[in-house]
Amino acid sequence: MKADDNHTNQGGKIQTKGRQATYLEVSRNLEEQVRNGRYPPGSRLPPQRDLALELGINVSTVSRAYKELQARGLIVASKRRGSIVTGGAMPAVKTTQQRGTSAAGGETNAVIDLTVNRPATGEFLAQLARTMGTIARDPRFAQTQEYQPPQGPDWARAAGAQWIAAPGFAPLADNLVVTSGAQHGLYAVLSSLMGHEGVILSDKLTYYGLKALAPVFQFELVGIPSDDDGLLPGHLEDACKRMRVKAIFTVPNLQNPGVVTMSLERRIALVDIARRHHVAIIEDDVYGPLLRKRLPTIASLCPELTFHVASTSKILAPGLRVGYLLTPPHGAALAAEAVRTTAWMPAPLSTLVTTRWIEDGTAQTILEAQRAELQARQELARELLPRDLLKSDPACMFIWLRVPEPWRSDDFAANALARGVNTMPASAFAVDRQTIEHGVRVNLACATSREELARALDVLSRTLRDRPRALYGTI
């Protein structure tokens, strides 16, 4: 492949030998080059016509290969910038049910996907069926066919303020913007910070949605070491002294993927550093409502600098697509502008359903059902997996499973997938290529039942006891 200033190659070659569909061979080889760093996150793949000419194949074949990579979450397509590598930052979009291949070459049963955070119970659908039969009687129902303010109607903002409230934290609806989920809210935050030079600090293993936005907004992520109490203040302080920082990103409750809840002392230390260096704070608190006992939010400790991102997707259902963004004072208008330019307004019907549920207690009912099921699944994980390798919390939707030597996280994930279980390796969350803890995130709520989860965890346990195996030859 030819390299130019905008995409990196380092000598990678693609060979097509006709053992499977050509587009699959091309996509598999490109994925291998992404995984081994020849195309690092933020780089561009070659233009499709250039690659087709080099390989002597049709442009349509290369186009199918690139679409396959996009479906796996390895690239994002941009008309202006081309095909941008995320390095597996986004979860794959599955168009068909995948099947695994054993090390011996035989096909396994259908893959159990443990990569997505979704509700662990069917309570959402039961409640939605009841609500849809009565929602037309709501006086606000007629508004769902009309355009809404980009920040959301007043009643939706008031419900959002109620949803994100916590002990000692009573946010003002005037500073709140309704979004189409937490990722949309994070997009609005980063859009608000455009023009502020500098890097964004985060955990060394951080939320993959933030990684996916890095090439879109062309900002640099810098990883900060952490421990079981959260980000290490000394390293945060040093980074703020050495470089220009535009924001500190943190998931203070049930951090994704490390399952760490930041201590109060660390929250206070983070706020002190941000104030002294005039740095914005992005508090992603989508998992906070799952905790029965909550520490003060960072937004309550430092309202003048903090963007607080919340959502109903993880608690109620991802299909509802309603999020809430609390901005620093006088910041809501700029965030609302980002909503208007990307979605024009939050979806009125989803917004009304969510508002009714917050007002009448249905959201709390779903939350309680979720908490009970998650606790049972966490107990199952502690029973079936080595406890010394687990980072878990009874309220969390996922666990972090450390993998011992000689395993590497990517190899373990590939071997587990070949046995029929799909997990997220550390590389999907790593902000750079520095040494990271080898492990995989296992989403317990993703399994359709506890029985299916038990089968999947048994596969992971057996994989841990095995050795790494080569699964694929060179294309």
Domain ranges of the chain: 22-85, 99-117+364-465, 140-360
pLDDT for res 36? 73
pLDDT for res 438? 93
How far is it, in rounded angstroms, from Cα 93 to Cα 96?
Answer: 9
Identify the residue with better confidence: 78 or 337.
337
pLDDT for res 8? 38
462: pLDDT strictly greater than 80: yes
pLDDT for res 241? 96
Structural contact between residues 378 and 396, judged by C-beta atoms closer than 8 angstroms: yes
222: pLDDT strictly greater than 60: yes
208: pLDDT strictly greater than 90: no
How far is it, in rounded angstroms, from Cα 281 to Cα 302?
Answer: 9
Torsion of CA 53, 59, 62, 66, to 10 degrees: 120
102: pLDDT strictly greater than 70: no
Distances (CA, A) of 25 to 64, 76, 414, 471: 11, 20, 17, 15
289: pLDDT strictly greater than 90: yes
Structural contact between residues 171 and 297, judged by C-beta atoms closer than 8 angstroms: no
Distances (CA, A) of 464 to 278, 407, 412, 437, 450: 46, 8, 8, 16, 21
pLDDT for res 4? 38
76: pLDDT strictly greater than 60: yes
310: pLDDT strictly greater than 90: yes
Average pLDDT for residues 194-200, to the nearest whole number? Answer: 84
Q: Report DSSP state, residue 284.
A: E
pLDDT for res 9? 40
Confidence bin at 22 (pLDDT 50/70/90): confident
Distances (CA, A) of 324 to 52, 187, 291, 329: 44, 12, 18, 15
pLDDT for res 181? 92
Give burial (CB, 10 Å; 0-12/13-18/19+) of 216: middle
Average pLDDT for residues 254-266, to the nearest whole number? Answer: 96
Fold of 99-117+364-465: Aspartate Aminotransferase, domain 1 (3.90.1150)
For 423-445, the pLDDT digits (tens) are 999 989 998 877 788 999 999 99
Total number of residues shown for the chain = 475
Identify the residue with better confidence: 73 or 245.
245
How far is it, in rounded angstroms, from Cα 415 to Cα 176?
Answer: 45
Report the relative pairing of strands 280-284 and 245-250 from DSSP bridges.
Answer: parallel
Give burial (CB, 10 Å; 0-12/13-18/19+) of 196: middle
Report the relative pairing of strands 390-391 and 280-284 from DSSP bridges.
Answer: unpaired
pLDDT for res 101? 42
Q: Report DSSP state, residue 319.
A: G
For 367-388, the pLDDT digits (tens) are 999 999 999 999 999 999 999 9
93: pLDDT strictly greater than 50: no
Cis bond before residue 91 (omega within 30° of 0)? no
pLDDT for res 78? 62
7: pLDDT strictly greater than 50: no
Give the chain's radius of gyration (CA, Å). Answer: 23
Helical spans, DSSP H, in 56-114: 59-71
155: pLDDT strictly greater than 50: yes
Confidence bin at 364 (pLDDT 50/70/90): very high
Torsion of CA 162, 295, 399, 403, to 10 degrees: 150
How far is it, in rounded angstroms, from Cα 163 to Cα 465?
Answer: 44
Confidence bin at 177 (pLDDT 50/70/90): very high
Portion of the chain with pLDDT greater than 90, in percent? 62
How far is it, in rounded angstroms, from Cα 73 to Cα 185?
Answer: 20
**What is the pTM (predicted TM-score) of this model?**
0.77
Domain 140-360 part of CATH 3.40.640.10: yes
Confidence bin at 80 (pLDDT 50/70/90): low
294: pLDDT strictly greater than 90: yes
Structural contact between residues 52 and 59, judged by C-beta atoms closer than 8 angstroms: yes
How far is it, in rounded angstroms, from Cα 409 to Cα 402?
Answer: 8
Give the contacts of 88 (CB within 8 A, at least 6 positions apart): 34, 35, 72, 73, 74, 208, 425, 427, 428
Confidence bin at 141 (pLDDT 50/70/90): very high
94: pLDDT strictly greater than 70: no
Domain 22-85 part of CATH 3.65.10.10: no
227: pLDDT strictly greater than 60: yes
Amino acid at 321: R
At 383, phi and psi to the nearest 5? -80, -35
Confidence bin at 109 (pLDDT 50/70/90): low
pLDDT for res 434? 77
pLDDT for res 33? 84
How far is it, in rounded angstroms, from Cα 166 to Cα 174?
Answer: 17
Structural contact between residues 171 and 165, judged by C-beta atoms closer than 8 angstroms: yes
Identify the residue with better confidence: 246 or 16.
246
Average pLDDT for residues 70-91, to the nearest whole number? Answer: 66
How far is it, in rounded angstroms, from Cα 224 to Cα 199?
Answer: 12
pLDDT for res 450? 92
Average pLDDT for residues 314-335, to the nearest whole number? Answer: 92
